[in-house]
Amino acid sequence: MKIAIIGAGAMGSLFGARLAPLCHVWLVDAWEEHIRAIQRDGIQLTNLDGSTQRVTVNATTNPEAVGDEVDWAIIFVKSYQTAQAAAWAAPMLKAGGLALTMQNGLGNLEVMADVLGAERCVQGVTSHGATLLGPGQVRHAGAAATYLATRPAITERVQRIAELFTRAGFETHLSDNLDSLVWGKLVINVGINALTAILRVRNGVLAEVASARALMEAAVDEAVAVARARGITVPYADARARTREVALATAANCSSMLADVLRGFPTEIDVINGAIVREGARLGVPTPVNQTLVHLIKALEATHAGRVA
C-alpha cells in the first residue's frame, strides 16, 4: 500500500513514523528544515513509555516527487491549508484512491470534497496526541481509539487501512456515522486548545488549576448545548469529566494551538471555538465564553510581533 501523508506536523510525523515500517509512506510538508532532517536522519520518535527510535521515512517538500498510484492521501495540515492539500493529493491518487482527513475542527471534509469529489473523501477521528520536539523529532503524547467513516462502496478499502493502522499501534474502528465522534472530539478541543494557547500551559494544567478548569468547563458546556441543538449526542455521558480526563491523559502535551501561538502562526480557532460560535448563532444558542476565547486568540495572532515577552 502506498500512502501520502500531507502535513508532517506532530500528528503527520507520528503516523508517518508508525506506518513507514509497514508500507510505502511519503511525508509531504513545506517546512524545509523539518523535511531535510527527516531525509538525513529519519524521524526520531519518542514513544509513550519514553523509549526512542529512529524511523526512515520518505519525505519531500515537492508534492510531485511522490508520483502517482497513491492508495490513501492522509490530510494532516492546518484547516486553512486543506484546499491546497487536497489539490496536491489529486494527481497522486490512483483510480479508486481515497483521501482521509483526521484534522481538528469542522468543515475540512467539505473543503476536500469541493476539490476531489465527495466520493473520494473519508472522515476520520483520532484522539492520539503528539508534540513536535524539533525538526525531525516527535513525541507520542497520548493514545486513544481512532475511528474511520465508511459507506458500502468503500467498506473494503477502509477496512484495509483500519487494519494497517491497528498494526501500526493505532487501535482503529469503522463507523457508518461519525457525527457523534467528530463532535465528541470537537467539544474536547474546544475546552483545551484555546485555553492552553492563551495561558501558555501544557494540557494537564487545565485539569489541575481550579480557575482554568472552570473556564474549560464553561466552554465545553456551551459546545455541548450547541451539539444538542443540532440533534447530536456526544459519545460520553459527562463532557466536563471527559475533557478533564483527556487533559490529564495528555498532561505533558503542548496543544497544536499553543504551538501555533508561540511561533506566531495562524491558528485553527475558526474551525474549533469559532465553529461553536457560528453554529450557536445559527441555532440561537448563546456562546459567550467561546466568543471571548475566539477574540483572545485572534488578538494573540494579531499582536505577536509587538509582544513584550
Active site residues: 185
Place of cell 498494526: 167
- Please state the separation of Cα 35 from the chain's center in Å: 20
**Cα 220 from Cα 188, distance rounded (Å):** 7
8 A C-beta contact, residue 14 and residue 81: no
> C-alpha angle 199/47/36, rounded to 5°?
85
C-alpha grid cell for residue 116?
476531489
**Cα 182 from Cα 29, distance rounded (Å):** 25
**Cα 241 from Cα 27, distance rounded (Å):** 36
Phi and psi angles of residue 90, each rounded to the nearest 5 degrees, phi first: -55, -50
**Cα 24 from Cα 73, distance rounded (Å):** 12
Q: Is 153 left (phi over 0), alpha (psi -120 to 50) or beta?
A: alpha
- Please state the separation of Cα 132 from the chain's center in Å: 13
What's 80's DSSP letter? Answer: G
Closest to 99 (Cα-Cα) out of 79, 76, 80, 78:
76
**Cα 85 from Cα 80, distance rounded (Å):** 10
- Please state the separation of Cα 95 from the chain's center in Å: 26
**Cα 184 from Cα 225, distance rounded (Å):** 12
